[in-house]
Amino acid sequence: MSAPAASAGASGTSGAPSGAPSGVSGAAGTAARPAASVALLALTPIFVRIKLALLRNGLKGSSKRKAAYFSSLAFALVVGFFMTLGLGLLRGNAHAGTVVVLLAGILALGWAFMPLFFPTGDETLDPSRLVMLPLRPRPLVAALLASSLVGIGPLFTLCLAVGSVIAVARGAAGAVAAVVALPLLLLGCVIIARAVATANVRLLTSRKGRDLAVLSGLVIAVGAQLANFASQSLFQAGGLSALEPVEAVVRWLPPATAVGMVDSVSEGSYGLAAAQLVLTLAALAGLLWSWERSLTRLMVTPDGSTISASGPVKDRGGAGGFWSLLPAGRTGASMQRALRYVVRDPKTKSAWVTALAIGMIVPVFNALQGTGSVYLGSFGAGMLGVQMYNQFGQDTSAFWMVAQTISGTRDAYVELRARAFALALVTLPYTVLVTVVTAALLDDWQGFPAAVGVALALLGSMLCTGAVASARFPYSIPTEGAFKNVAPGQAGLAWGGILGGMLASALVCGPVIALAVWLNMAEHRDVSWIVLPVGVAWGWLAAWAGLRLAAPTVARKLPEILSAVSKG
Amino acid sequence: MPDQGDATGGTYGTDGARTAPSAVRVEGLWKRFGEQVAVAGIDLELPAGKFIGLVGPNGAGKTTTLSMVTGLLRPDMGRVVVAGHDVWADPTEVKARIGVLPEGLRLFERLSGRELLGYMGRLRGLPGEETDKRATQLLDVLDLAGSQHKLIVDYSTGMRKKIGLAAALLHNPEVLFLDEPFEGVDPVSAQTIRGVLERYTASGATVVFSSHVMELVESLCDWVAVMAAGRIRAAGPLADVRGSAPSLQAAFLELVGAHGRDASGDSLDWLGGNSGTVTR
């Protein structure tokens, strides 16, 4: 237990002195009475101690959490160390300024958005827990600031900040500027996060805020893909000089201005540096002011949390519009519900948007880099096809409502078919679109029909195996938390179902893939269009067979499916 | 205490309404979860056209029983016949004839109240227009018209129970099963629910609901079954189960053997303003 306290304490002591003085000077300005400063002096260490105690208590009991904490601490330290080292090695490089300024910008951006996606991260910072205590805003801001400097995130940021200023600081003036810039950058990041979080605390504690947190998985998944391709193209397209126009802007955005200042001083442009310093200080003061304001408002106004959480949704049901084109009865109703859930349910939305985005990014970016193939268009079909898996788990325990209306194989078949229709309604045009874009970028129109054929055969196979897996391997999807997609104890079931299903899908559509490959290998590309009708027929047949196969199982095992999907 | 230990309801007695067929017949129903026996062999016959209360302390097996009776949970053993049809052998006939409001299971919360009713009606095979007409009336009567376009995820507990009740009534079932329909519901919503249910039973339909609020059961039901530790302790018309006891509450406490556990004697004698006396 001593290790986390020691390491967190180390970051606390490195952070607290830089946090406390600014708070002291801020409070002393208005509250000159001794009582107020006594309260202030007492408050900051109390909050830092609370934060340390929370960190320590969070690790008690669960060895899993302990392992997670220490591995992320070690990871942050190792990455931080190497980043610092790498940045230090950039010293003297012509692009060092560009890199560190952009890095500071990205860092600040990350800090600004983090509270929106990970709102439950820090209990000491939830002002609603402090409402009943008689606290003045200024000392509270200072204390909260000091306590938010304790933790892995600030430690990591400090490492990067040190590396950044080392990379660009030159000469005695540069060193002085670096010493000034270091706390400014760190404080800037932390204050941005706190100001954003406090201003949005109503949103974050409401249902909409929790919905937003669930979408963070999507941001990370898509962001990782984009970053991957961006870094690849950056190294291909003549390196860092391509980023200079961006850097010219970011250089003037606080708190990246703090690093920009060090660079300016080192280059001897003292006027520029002074402007950047003033801008940084002004921005920090502004952020502190707005943080204090929203904090004060939060502490004195009662919580009306759910009142404004959602306005009524417009009545688009029933008559008119797109929905009236859907078939009547169970088919239309189930399709409508499934499609509404894609838009409204954060978990479903997150999965769909990730699939749609990655299904587009992979073939298109590969095509842009000249490494693509028109057959990568089936990537999106595969990604969306995965959504057919665990259909009833996506219903959560509300599946009982469906179960109550399924009284035989026919009902089960129509229900599954409606869900497959809903998926196909989006996936079919999407797959064609992605393949068209990919073919256009590669100028490979000869391969286009075959690529669509393979994609649709794959989609049909995924619908087939997805339906069977939904019936045989249902599992619960917890509604909260972006990264928990399986209820405890069902992970094996979930992965087994999906991996086995994907293997089976590959086997099911294997003949179509084999046909396409053979036609390409044997230089029969001129007749490769034949894959399109074959693929369509094959996919349709596979989907139909899968639904037929799954329906009796669903009808027979309704109570078992319900209990399997109700654990979330 | 009549019918004690014998729960087949052989003597409906007082009103002599033996002519009505039973709405629900349960024979030898068992369910165990691992080591724990949740329902230990229930035999029960519930008369049609009555307002029936299933009462018992927490953990008595009420929810498990209702889940098995409505086909949401597969029993280990036993037979359930609802409206003359076996729940497990003939689900087609049963599911069209029953309405269910379970406890602890979600609704499709990302639909608005009206959308949920429209969805359920179509799943039940009702024509779209008829569904929408019934939905409008149910939303009106249950005082949900103002929130019909709000997502259910933003509904309060009372509103959830009401929209669940509307969904259960939409297809005009013969028998309605409600698990704790008044739990966590404000008095106004409770009165609304009550009014709808009374009107529904007056037309000859059967309501079976579980509760642990005795006053409520006493004021609503004309037939009760008392459950404890997975068994039926008594069943019959309200007056018979209550017997000579002053209230159903007293009769119930006696049945489940909870007497003599009230705070008397030395324990907690420090509690309260005039120390020493404990009033309940």
The enclosing H or E element of B236 equals strand B231-237
Residues of A within 8 A of B151 (CB-CB) are 310, 313, 344
What does the alpha-carbon distance between residue B26 and residue B30 come to, in Å, rounded to a whole number? 10
Task: Work out the minimum CA distance from B191 to partner chain A, whole angstroms.
Answer: 24
CB contact under 8 A, B122 and A328: yes
Whole-number pLDDT of residue A117: 65
Q: What span, in angstroms and rounded, lies between the C-alpha atoms of A379 and B217?
A: 59
Chain A residues whose C-beta is within 8 A of a chain B C-beta are 207, 306, 309-310, 312-315, 317-318, 328-330, 332-334, 336-337, 340-341, 344-345, 395-398, 400-408, 558-560, 562-563, 566
Q: How does DSSP classify residue B150?
A: S
Q: Residues in chain B with pLDDT < 70?
A: 1-20, 258-266, 274-280
Instruction: Give the side-chain half-sphere CA count within 13 A for A10.
Output: 11
pLDDT score recorded for residue A21: 38
A272 and A350 inside one domain: no
pLDDT of residue A409: 93
Residue A322 lies in a domain: no
- The number of beta carbons lying within 10 Å of the beta carbon of residue B15 is 11
Q: What domain range includes position A108?
A: 2-300
The token duo for A251 is 């250089």
> Which of A265, A300, A335 represents a domain boundary (last residue)?
A300
Tell me the C-alpha distance between A368 and A211, whole Å. 34
Same domain, A522 and A434: yes
CB contact under 8 A, A401 and B74: no
Q: Which residues of A touch B72 (CB under 8 A)?
A: 400, 403-404, 559, 562
Residue type, A222: V
Judge: B96–A333 Cβ closer than 8 Å, yes or no: no
Whether residue B226 contacts residue B235, with contact meaning beta carbons closer than 8 Å, is answered with yes
Apex A116 CA angle, A115 and A118, nearest 5: 60
Cα–Cα distances in Å, from A97 out to A180, A244, A297, A457, B101?
17, 10, 40, 51, 65
Do A359 and A419 fall into the same domain?
A: yes
Q: Are B30 and B77 spatial neighbours (Cβ–Cβ below 8 Å)?
A: yes
- At residue A192's C-alpha, the angle toward residues A186 and A196, to 5°, is 155
Rounded CA-CA distance A208/A219 in Å is 16
Cβ contacts of A405 on chain B, cutoff 8 Å: 95, 120, 123-125
Closest residue in chain B to residue A332, using alpha carbons only = B122
Whether the upstream peptide bond of residue A474 has omega within 30° of 0, thus cis, is no
Q: Are strands B36-47 and B22-33 parallel, antiparallel or unpaired?
A: antiparallel
| Residue A22 to residues A138, A211, A255, Cα–Cα distance (Å) | 11, 36, 16
Q: How many domains does chain A have?
A: 2
Q: Is residue A321 part of a domain?
A: no
What is d(CA B20, CA B22) in angstroms, rounded to the nearest whole number?
6
A180's enclosing H/E stretch is helix A171-199
The total of other beta-carbon atoms located within 10 Å of residue A556's CB is 14
Chain B residues at the A interface, defined by Cβ less than 8 Å, are 70-74, 91-92, 94-96, 100, 102, 104-112, 114-115, 118-120, 122-125, 127-128, 132, 147-151, 153-154, 167
How far from each other are the two terminal CA atoms of chain B, in whole angstroms? 27
Residue B196 tokens, joined: 């709808």
Is residue A142 within 8 Å of residue A191, measured between CB atoms?
Answer: no
- Is B95 in contact with A317 (Cβ distance < 8 A)? no
Same domain, A159 and A43: yes
Main-chain phi, psi angles of B100, to 5 degrees: -130, 140
* Parallel/antiparallel/unpaired status of strands B231-237 and B223-228: antiparallel
- A261 with A378, same domain? no
Nearest chain A residue to B105 by CA distance is: A397
How far is A310 from B113, CA to CA, in rounded Å? 14
CA dihedral angle for residue A173, residue A175, residue A180, residue A183, rounded to 10 degrees: 170
Which DSSP string do the residues of A499-510 spell out, in sequence order? HHHHHHHHHHTH
Mark whether A291 and A356 lie in a shared domain.
Answer: no
* Phi, psi angle pair for A530, to nearest 5°: -60, -25
Q: In degrees, to the nearest 5, what angle opens at C-alpha A490 toward C-alphas A489 and A496?
A: 135
Q: Strands B85-86 and B77-82: what pairing?
A: antiparallel
**How large is the ipTM?**
0.86
Instruction: Annotate A395-419 with three-state secondary structure.
Output: CHHHHHHHHCCCCCHHHHHHHHHHH
Phi, psi of A25 (to 5 degrees): -65, -35
Residues of chain A with C-beta less than 8 angstroms from the C-beta of B125: 329-330, 405
Q: Which residue has the tokens 């654990």?
A: A567
Q: At what angle do helices B187-202 and B157-169 cross, to 10 degrees?
A: 10
Contact partners, residue A341, CB within 8 Å, separation at least 6: A348, A394, B108, B110
Give me the average pLDDT of each 10-residue run along chain A (568 residues): 35 36 39 47 81 77 71 83 83 77 85 68 63 80 85 84 84 85 89 82 69 72 76 65 73 83 84 89 91 82 51 49 83 94 87 87 84 85 90 92 93 96 94 92 88 93 93 84 66 78 87 88 82 94 96 94 87
> Does residue B263 contact residue B228 with C-beta atoms inside 8 Å?
no
How many angstroms away from the CA of A119 is the closest CA of chain B? 20
A288: phi then psi, degrees, rounded to nearest 5: -60, -40
Q: What is the DSSP string of A241-280?
A: GGGHHHHHHHTTSTTHHHHHHHHHHHTT-HHHHHHHHHHH
Tokens standing for residue A554: 């669903």
The conformation of residue A95, written as its DSSP 8-state character, comes to T
Domain annotation covers residue A313:
no
3-state secondary structure of A42: helix
pTM score: 0.75
CA distance A222 to A114: 16
Q: Residue A145: beta bridge partners? A: none
Domain positions in chain B: 22-255
- Minimal CA–CA distance to A358: which of A334, A376, A333? A376
Side-chain half-sphere of A206: how many Cα atoms within 13 Å? 15
DSSP codes joined into one string, A52-68 = HHHHHHHHSS-HHHHHH
Same domain, A461 and A528: yes
What dotted CATH number matches B22-255?
3.40.50.300
Rg, Å, chain A Cα set: 28
**Cross-chain CB nearest to A400 (options B72, B94, B96):** B72
CA distance A200 to A289: 15
Do B76 and B56 form a contact (C-beta atoms < 8 A)? no
Count of A-B CB contacts under 8 Å: 105
pLDDT in tens, B188-229: 888 899 999 999 999 999 999 999 888 888 888 999 999 988
Q: Name A30's Cβ contacts closer than 8 Å, sequence gap at least 6.
A: A138
